[in-house]
Structure 1
Amino acid sequence: METIRTTNQWLGASALAMGSYPAFSMIPNPAFGWMRAWGEVTERSFQRMVVKPDWDIPHFTAKDGKDHIVTISKVVEDDFGDLLHFEVPGRDEEKPTVLLVAPMSGHYATLLRKTVISLLPDCDVYITDWHNARDIPVSAGKFDIEDYTLYLVNFMKHLGPDTHVIAVCQPAPLTLAATAYLAEEEPAAQPRSLTLIGGPIDPGAAATEVTDFGHSVTMGQLEKSMIQRVGFKYPGVGRQVYPGLLQLSSFISMNGEKHAKAFNDQIARAARGEASDHDKHNEFYDEYLAVMDMTAEFYLSTVERIFQNHEIAKNEFVVAGRKVDFGKITTVAVKTVEGGEDDITAPGQCIAALDLCTGLPDTKKASHVEPHAGHYGIFAGSSWRNNIRPMVLEFISKNSQGAAPSKGAANTSQKPDAAPAPLRKNGSTDVPV
């Protein structure tokens, strides 16, 4: 797979160099311009598949009227992931602490870059930064979904109880499990609120191509066809992984025609001289094509225990030999967010978390379905910016100790002291469940 990627990157670089050769400019043939454009797009596409994108967080103007830069520091370091803090020096106003739990599903945590930028003016933001498995030596040991859950437990303990957790996509069920684990082991360390965005709490609640695939293969077939060993080129040589390039091919195949058109259009723009380093296409695909390998045990345990055995949905999940009981969550406010047009985690899968929290009062439960949002839009697109983000900030504000609701956020969630209302499944406002 790496040979194929390197070869295509070399072919693109060669075409770019040949198409840009000065002597060819004397020949009025558009073929050379198209060769250069094809090479430019192809080289960039295959080269960025193995490069971790920069966070590149811009400065912003706070309420004090001053521009504040953002610095990034590691507050917890471990073999398979770090806890990063986006510090805003000079900001005197105290902001609620937010832990963003990034997915480990083939992309780097930088996939949530726009989410981080949108939250920084109103929150003190931390994020889980998972490492690329191909760069982790075999001596570091295994890393499966139980280890992932314990990492989250450690991060939550470090940040303390005045924390609001937002889990995006894949980590939603494990974040819920980490909260339930803390509810029994160290209740005082539980976060104040938990927002689950587009996560597969109950994959059986609504079928998608992802869930269909999970049930169409046996674990033996999956291990034989999907798992590979890291080559000598990387520090993790010998480690068994689910390659990021393989995951990327799966992502692209789900919307193959759309991606093919996007690249054809970009080649045409490059040929006309209209493309740039930071145009809309490159801004999106610089992140989308940057993929990381997952440890084999994490990938296989996710498919088997979350998608096939439905251990989270059945409240049968075990961590470090201890059964996790979601009914033990009694004080953490829980909110679910789903996209009405999400083709990866369809509506119904995430809201199942509220039924699992049997010990939680109805006044501390809320849900939201964004009618026309896809999977990416519910945490980084216009649906997030215009509708979901204000509601999440309002939810955080209502569940912060001694905090009044933020003035700029939409008041769409039920107040904690209001009477319970019956379940409603759809709509663009929060509803108690």
Structure 2
Amino acid sequence: MRYMATYDLMETIRNTNQWLGATALTVGAYPAFALIPNPALTWMQAWGEVTERTFQRMIVKPDWNIPPVPTSDGQDHVVRTEVVVQRDFGDLLRFVVPGRDLPKRKVLLVAPMSGHYATLLRSTVISLLQDADLYITDWHNARDIPVSAGKFDIEDYTLYLVDFMREMGPDTHVIAVCQPAPLTLAATAYLADEDPKAQPRSLTLIGGPIDPNATPTDVTDFGHRVTMGQLEEMMIQRVGFKHPGVGRMVYPGLLQLSSFISMNSETHTKAFVDQIGRVARGEAADHDKHNKFYDEYLAVMDMTAEFYLSTVERIFKSGEIARNEFVVAGKKVDIGKITTVAVKTVEGSKDDISAPGQCIAALDLCTGLPDELKASHLEEGAGHYGIFAGKSWRQNIRPLVLEFIDANSGEPQKNQRKAANTNAA
């Protein structure tokens, strides 16, 4: 499958389905057909509308669309984004709210690079923005990065995080969501050894595979079941001529999306059939619940082949983070070197991607960290998405995370005295 023709074939299929949807929508909406109402034409138009939107969203990076932020002056302030650090494979982005007093909390939100854009954390951003000077890692679509930019694997990812933390300074509080949790832990340990003064004040790890084997899931079973040769042959393709990254080896977002959908095909099929019915009956809206979810879910990005393959091999198969044997740029990273950064883990009891036990393993790896700077939370009834963006996040987890940040906002020596009460939660 490692050919441009395969990559272009997938894009051709996507493009064709988008065109078919647009054609059906146009034919169904033809004015002359309104002379003789026909339910078949109404359903064809509805099918076309849903189909065109579905396949068009797959190649569009969603906008942040952050609503204005109300502040103490009684006014709503418009939010804009500002690139603080610009790099080939990802930027450090800041959410700026002109006219408001700068919040005391400075937070770096580390977004996953797992097939979706950083905008997947839009609701998380919105929930934190009122209470924090917020930054986020904005990873780029690999198909748009020229081959001349070089490689990008999990070691490069870790060094990007190191540079971002250095840029933000030691008063930073880091929140890593899902996939980047183990690499964010490694980046913090790297700083603890190489540049202690640049370490963040606290680190919150949410639903990440620190030790994937602690509680196996379908994801971890798949990682052990297939060989690296099989993965490379089945999952890796070369970007076609249409994109700036022509020739780059990637794990295509469209392939990842097909895997996502196949895992719950009946649920997704029903969701789209129901939406076609709502459109036909005139009950749908541009930003209804279905479109709001799938506009983000369907927007996928390519990952570099070396990042995808090194993640499977070194995080899931070899368990380098779990065994504290991770190496970056030829240097072994010792997680035990973390001695002043408060660490909190968050897990969901119904998380079927990073099951309970995988993330809390980080606390055992922090052998040099006092117990009063360690904390954990298990959210009962919450699935993977819910622990960072759903009702559980808004009502229960977010307040606990903010309390943890506040308890560890001073100098490291003072933090150890203040943290005990918060950690008890």
TM-score (norm. length: structure 2): 0.95
Q: Which has the higher contact order (CA 8 A, sep 6+)?
A: 2
In the TM superposition, what is the alpha-carbon distance from 1:64 to its structure 2 partner? 3.0
Q: CA RMSD in A?
A: 1.5
In the TM superposition, what is the alpha-carbon distance from 1:261 to its structure 2 partner? 1.2
Residue 213 of structure 1 aligns with an amino acid whose one-letter code is F
CA contact (8 A) 1:368 1:431 kept: no
Aligned to 1:39: 48
CA contact (8 A) 2:404 2:423 kept: no
Please give the residue correspondences for 1:150-189 in structure 2 after superposition, counting only pairs within 5 Å: 150-189=159-198
What SS does the corresponding residue of 1:73 show, helix, strand or coil?
strand
What SS does the corresponding residue of 1:335 show, helix, strand or coil?
strand
In the TM superposition, what is the alpha-carbon distance from 1:253 to its structure 2 partner? 1.7
What SS does the corresponding residue of 2:375 show, helix, strand or coil?
strand
Number of residues of Structure 1 aligned to a counterpart in Structure 2: 412
Please give the residue correspondences for 1:74-153 in structure 2 after superposition, counting only pairs within 5 Å: 74-153=83-162
Please give the residue correspondences for 1:299-314 in structure 2 after superposition, counting only pairs within 5 Å: 299-314=308-323
| Alpha-carbon distance between aligned partners in 2 of 1:312 and 1:366, rounded to the nearest angstrom | 19
Structure 1 unmatched runs, 5+: 404-413, 419-428
CA contact (8 A) 1:367 1:431 kept: no
Deviations 1:238-287 (A, max 9, x none): 00000001111111122221111111111110010111111111011111
In the TM superposition, what is the alpha-carbon distance from 1:161 to its structure 2 partner? 0.3
Residue 397 of structure 2 aligns with an amino acid whose one-letter code is I
2:287 paired with 1:284: no
User: Which of the residues 49, 52, 56 maps onto 2:61?
Assistant: 52
Aligned to 1:344: 353
Structure 2 unmatched runs, 5+: 1-9
Aligned to 1:368: 377
Deviations 1:113-137 (A, max 9, x none): 1111110110000000000000000
2:36 paired with 1:27: yes
Residue 308 of structure 1 aligns with an amino acid whose one-letter code is K
In the TM superposition, what is the alpha-carbon distance from 1:105 to its structure 2 partner? 0.2
What SS does the corresponding residue of 1:205 show, helix, strand or coil?
coil
| Alpha-carbon distance between aligned partners in 2 of 1:69 and 1:345, rounded to the nearest angstrom | 35
Aligned to 1:231: 240
TM-score (norm. length: structure 1): 0.93
| Alpha-carbon distance between aligned partners in 2 of 1:93 and 1:78, rounded to the nearest angstrom | 26
4+ runs deviating over 4 angstroms: 429-432
Change (3 A) 1:300 1:250: same
| Alpha-carbon distance between aligned partners in 2 of 1:94 and 1:147, rounded to the nearest angstrom | 31
What SS does the corresponding residue of 1:75 show, helix, strand or coil?
strand
| Alpha-carbon distance between aligned partners in 2 of 1:88 and 1:398, rounded to the nearest angstrom | 25
2:344 paired with 1:335: yes
Deviations 1:121-166 (A, max 9, x none): 1000000000000000000000000000000000000000000000
In the TM superposition, what is the alpha-carbon distance from 1:402 to its structure 2 partner? 7.6
Aligned to 2:4: none
| Alpha-carbon distance between aligned partners in 1 of 2:223 and 2:103, rounded to the nearest angstrom | 44
Residue 105 of structure 2 aligns with an amino acid whose one-letter code is P
Residue 354 of structure 2 aligns with an amino acid whose one-letter code is T
| Alpha-carbon distance between aligned partners in 2 of 1:391 and 1:53, rounded to the nearest angstrom | 29
